[in-house]
Amino acid sequence: MRICLDNECHKIDECKACEKNVLIICFLINLVMFAVELFYGLRENSASLLGDAAHNSGDALILGSSLFVMASTLRVKARLALIKSFVMLGFGLVTFFHVFLIFWAGTVPAYETLTTVGVIALVGNIISAMLLMYYRNKDINLKSAYICCRNDVIASAGIIVAGILVMFTGSYWPDVIIGSLIGGIIVRSSMLIAEESLQALNFKKIK
């Protein structure tokens, strides 16, 4: 797959092909990370892993849907971004629900699993964010995808921190706190994307 990382590229056809390739690569990365974090999150009953799995599943959905509107108008892309913001909000609320269940159960996840999966997810998310960074200002569709992957970098770093703190404290609190923060990041991001989508839809020049 050819990927153009030149922000000033004026070869429209090649740029569109590169944008599609980037979205495909990031979609596959997020799909794999979702499966890994969901498996280990359920096995360890980890709030942070399940929260990030929910985030990655939302990202995979967002990146996958972005592939279908690449040639659409700005208004269509803005509408899709608005829908994506509601999807993100839903995953954020699901994350808080998992946090509550795990807090109630009081289970302590294995710190080795948290740290290892966190490192793997961090690498994948950094790659995705760096690839999308070059296209984030082309339209709101790509910007929303970039924001999701950028936030995943923060979430993955948080999982690593949770693993280290669980190792030293032997408590479930670091996992619960990081899981709550991930949920907060998802909800906040959904609000920002919704706000920008509404602004784009109200912009008179968009047809």
What confidence score (pLDDT) does residue 177 get? 92
Among 12-16, 60-64, 141-145, 151-155, name the one with the lowest average pLDDT: 12-16
* Contact residues for 89 (Cβ-Cβ < 8 A; gap 6+): 186, 187, 190, 191, 194
What confidence score (pLDDT) does residue 196 get? 77
User: Phi and psi for 171 in degrees, rounded to 5?
Assistant: -115, 155
What confidence score (pLDDT) does residue 7 get? 53
Computed on alpha carbons and rounded to an integer, the radius of gyration of the chain in Å comes to 18
Mean predicted confidence (pLDDT) in 33-46? 90
Band of pLDDT at residue 115, cut at 50, 70 and 90? very high
Q: Output 85 or 169, whichever has higher pLDDT.
A: 169
What confidence score (pLDDT) does residue 94 get? 82
Mean predicted confidence (pLDDT) in 25-48? 89
Mean predicted confidence (pLDDT) in 160-176? 92
Band of pLDDT at residue 118, cut at 50, 70 and 90? very high
Mean predicted confidence (pLDDT) in 155-170? 91
DSSP percent split of the chain into helix, strand, coil, nearest 5: 80, 0, 20
pTM for the whole thing? 0.78
* CA of residue 45 relative to chain centroid, distance: 21
What is the C-alpha separation between 175 and 12, in angstroms, rounded? 45
What confidence score (pLDDT) does residue 2 get? 54
What confidence score (pLDDT) does residue 1 get? 52
